[in-house]
């Protein structure tokens, strides 16, 4: 009887072992490397950024640090990716993975990206709810529990490293700096209707950049000299804005309106209907380009490593672009078309788009769109055609572009059609953004960027 009992126990234990082995998905490493997990996590962050109403510069900060965290976690386990530590001079190496422990690096990358993003937004509950759902989906892949736990722990360690790093970028200090001071100089920016908000982020040029030597490294030419003379260059540029939708035929006007509305990307638009006041929320300009990065990666069937690389490179260009642009905005402090036209040409005129609450020169859309387009062109090619559906959830139709650069040019000119920028702000902004984008490509090496020789 004892012999039979011992044999029964052995068979029982063997059965448990086999059952456990069968419960492990032999393809879990492949399944966890599906880039759709990363795309969805970035989209969740975008949705929370929209909900929390972050300004365009602040949103770029959230995108960039979270994307770098995901990239660094993935780079730790992928020999084809080059860490950004040292390349970004103030970024030290991320913690090394623990020895002799299996880690699913794509999972660690999602965890790192998500934790950093959550640390920078207000609606942590929305992030937590999505994280719990995401972890439940990962467990359905049926990877070994020890691999899941080790991967999450490593992703969190990288996130903590990045959180400590971003804490030194001057963001907290600039929260206490003085607001923009309004002057009596009519050539200088003043708050605009309907909310007459204070100038947003007047000290953003003090934020630590990733690749720029300083915020003024690529300062554009100054705006056209302010003048009330009817035949002056300034007045010609003002009139171009004033007649952008009325001085052309009906078909051209309709197309210009469609372009302006597609690229509006205003995170907070106020509406007044009688005594009722409400606001609508949209993605920021950076959020629009993050979505274009997603579109490109998906169309190219990019693997997980290329996907995290795409988001990191795009967001770095975006972040440095905003710093460069904002330095000029609060240096020149140029008056917006709405203010000038209401004072000197037509008191009843209103631009198609609501004027953003910060100075005019240069155009943020022009700078940031071009910087992002330069990086995406480097990653996916000069003639990468794509359909941009970024605005469909805001009830605007898809627009198609033959290249990233073409999209950036339309984004730039949209600001003139919308009545919120003069021509020089757009043209100089494109050139400024191109310089920023080229500098990012020359300064950093990721897997795709090291395939071509560029001057250091």
Report the chain's mean pLDDT, rounded to a whole number: 93
Instruction: List, for residues 203-221, the tens digit of each pLDDT value.
Output: 999 999 999 999 999 999 9
Q: Report if residue 15 sits inside a domain.
A: no
Query: Residue 132 belongs to what domain range?
Result: 24-171
pLDDT at residue 16, as a whole number: 39
> Quick one: pLDDT band at residue 269, thresholds 50, 70, 90?
confident
For residue 23, what pLDDT band results from cuts at 50, 70 and 90?
confident
pTM of the model: 0.93
pLDDT at 275: 61
Per-residue model confidence (pLDDT) at position 282: 92
Residues 167 and 195 in one domain: no
For residues 287 and 299, give the distance between their C-alpha atoms in angstroms, rounded to a whole number: 18
Contacts of 196 by beta carbon, 8 Å cutoff, 6+ apart:
none
CA atoms within 13 Å, Cβ hemisphere of 89: 7
User: Last residue of some domain: 149, 171, 193?
Assistant: 171
pLDDT value, residue 439: 98
**pLDDT attached to residue 5:** 53
Domain boundary among 124, 149, 171: 171
Spatial distance between the Cα atoms of 67 and 71, rounded to a whole number of angstroms: 6
Q: What confidence score (pLDDT) does residue 279 get?
A: 77
Residue ending a domain, among 142, 171, 200, is: 171
Q: Is 342 exposed, middle or buried (0-12, 13-18, 19+ CB in 10 A)?
A: middle
Tell me the average pLDDT across 384-403.
97
Q: Which run of H or of E encompasses 328?
A: helix 304-332
Residue at 12 is within a domain: no
Tell me what pLDDT residue 22 has.
56
Q: Please give the Cα distance from 83 to 447 (Å, whole number).
A: 9
Residues of the chain with pLDDT > 90, as a percent, come to 90
Same domain, 196 and 270: yes
Mean pLDDT of 150-159: 98
pLDDT at position 278 is 66
Task: Spell out the long-range contacts of 446-454 with Cβ–Cβ below 8 A and sequence spacing 24 or more.
Answer: 446/71, 446/81, 446/82, 446/84, 446/309, 446/312, 446/313, 447/78, 447/80, 447/81, 447/82, 447/305, 447/306, 447/309, 448/306, 448/309, 448/313, 448/378, 448/379, 449/313, 449/378, 450/82
In a domain, 370, yes or no: yes
Residue 178 lies in a domain: no
Is the preceding omega at residue 194 within 30 degrees of 0, hence cis?
A: yes
User: Whats the size of the chain, residue-wise?
Assistant: 456
CB neighbours of residue 11 within 10 Å: 10
The pLDDT value recorded for residue 7 is 45
Q: Please list, in sequence order, all residues whose beta carbon lies within 8 angstroms of the beta carbon of residue 233, skipping any fewer than 6 positions away.
A: 224, 225, 227
Residues 124 and 187 in one domain: no
Q: 215 lies in a domain?
A: yes
Rounded percentage of the chain residues whose pLDDT exceeds 70: 91
Residues 162 and 305 grouped into a single domain: no
Does the CA dihedral 8-9-13-16 come out positive or negative? positive
Q: What is the pLDDT of residue 4?
A: 45
In this structure, the answer to whether residues 81 and 192 fall within a common structural domain is: no
Q: Are residues 132 and 89 in the same domain?
A: yes
| Token pair 């631009």 in the structure block, residue | 351
Task: Note the pLDDT tens digit of each residue in 72-125.
Answer: 999 999 999 999 999 999 999 999 999 999 999 999 999 999 999 999 999 999
Spatial contact of 439 and 211, defined as CB atoms under 8 Å apart: yes
Mean pLDDT of 349-377: 98
Does any domain span residue 245?
yes
pLDDT band at 150 (very low <50, low <70, confident <90, very high): very high
Whether residue 104 lies inside any domain: the answer is yes
Predicted pLDDT of residue 454: 42
Is residue 111 domain-shared with residue 205, that is, in the same domain? Answer: no
CATH code for the domain in which residue 120 is found: 1.20.144
pLDDT tens for residues 26-73? Answer: 999 999 999 999 999 999 999 999 999 999 999 999 999 999 999 999
CA distance 218 to 351: 29
Q: How confident is the model at residue 6 (pLDDT cuts 50, 70, 90)?
A: low
Q: Is residue 13 part of a domain?
A: no
User: pLDDT-based confidence at 2, cuts 50/70/90?
Assistant: very low
CATH number of the domain to which 407 belongs: 1.10.606.20
Same domain, 208 and 104: no
**pLDDT over 80 at 273, yes or no:** no
What is the count of structural domains for the chain? 2
């Amino acid at each position: 009887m004892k012999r039979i009992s011992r044999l029964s126990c052995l068979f029982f234990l063997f059965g448990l072992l086999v059952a456990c082995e069968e419960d492990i998905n032999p393809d879990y490493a492949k399944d966890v490397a599906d880039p759709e997990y990363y795309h969805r996590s970035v989209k969740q962050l975008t949705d929370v950024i929209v909900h929390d109403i972050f300004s365009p510069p602040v949103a770029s900060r959230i995108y960039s640090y979270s994307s770098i965290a995901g990239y660094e976690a993935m780079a730790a386990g992928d020999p084809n990716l080059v860490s950004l530590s040292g390349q970004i001079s103030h970024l030290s190496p991320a913690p090394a993975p623990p020895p002799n422990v299996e880690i699913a690096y794509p999972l660690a990358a999602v965890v790192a990206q998500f934790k950093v993003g959550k640390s920078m937004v207000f609606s942590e509950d929305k992030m937590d709810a999505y994280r719990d759902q995401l972890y439940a989906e990962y467990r359905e892949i049926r990877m070994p529990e020890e691999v899941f736990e080790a991967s999450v722990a490593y992703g969190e360690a990288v996130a903590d490293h990045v959180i400590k790093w971003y804490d030194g970028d001057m963001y907290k200090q600039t929260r206490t700096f003085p607001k923009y001071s309004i002057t009596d100089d009519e050539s200088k920016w003043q708050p605009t209707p309907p909310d007459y908000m204070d100038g947003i982020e007047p000290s953003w040029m003090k934020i630590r950049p990733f690749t720029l030597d300083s915020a003024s490294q690529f300062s554009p030419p100054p705006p056209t000299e302010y003048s009330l003379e009817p035949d002056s260059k300034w007045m010609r540029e003002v009139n171009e804005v004033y007649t952008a939708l009325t001085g052309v035929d009906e078909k051209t006007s309709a197309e210009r309106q469609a372009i302006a509305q597609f690229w509006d990307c205003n995170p907070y638009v106020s509406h007044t209907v009688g005594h009722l006041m409400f606001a609508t929320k949209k993605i920021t300009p950076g959020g629009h380009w993050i979505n274009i990065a997603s579109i490109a990666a998906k169309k190219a069937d990019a693997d997980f490593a290329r996907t995290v690389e795409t988001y990191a490179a795009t967001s770095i260009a975006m972040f440095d672009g905003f710093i460069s642009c904002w330095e000029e905005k609060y240096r020149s402090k140029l008056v917006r078309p709405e203010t000038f036209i209401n004072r000197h040409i037509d008191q009843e005129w209103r631009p198609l788009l609501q004027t953003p609450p910060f100075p005019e020169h240069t155009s943020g859309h022009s700078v940031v769109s071009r910087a992002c387009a330069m990086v995406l062109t480097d990653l996916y090619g000069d003639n990468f055609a794509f359909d941009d559906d970024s605005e469909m959830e805001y009830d605007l139709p898809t627009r198609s572009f033959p290249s990233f650069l073409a999209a950036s040019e339309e984004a730039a000119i949209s600001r003139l059609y919308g009545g919120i920028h003069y021509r020089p702000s757009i043209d100089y902004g494109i050139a400024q953004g191109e310089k920023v984008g080229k500098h990012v490509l020359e300064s950093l090496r990721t897997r795709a960027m090291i395939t071509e020789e560029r001057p250091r």
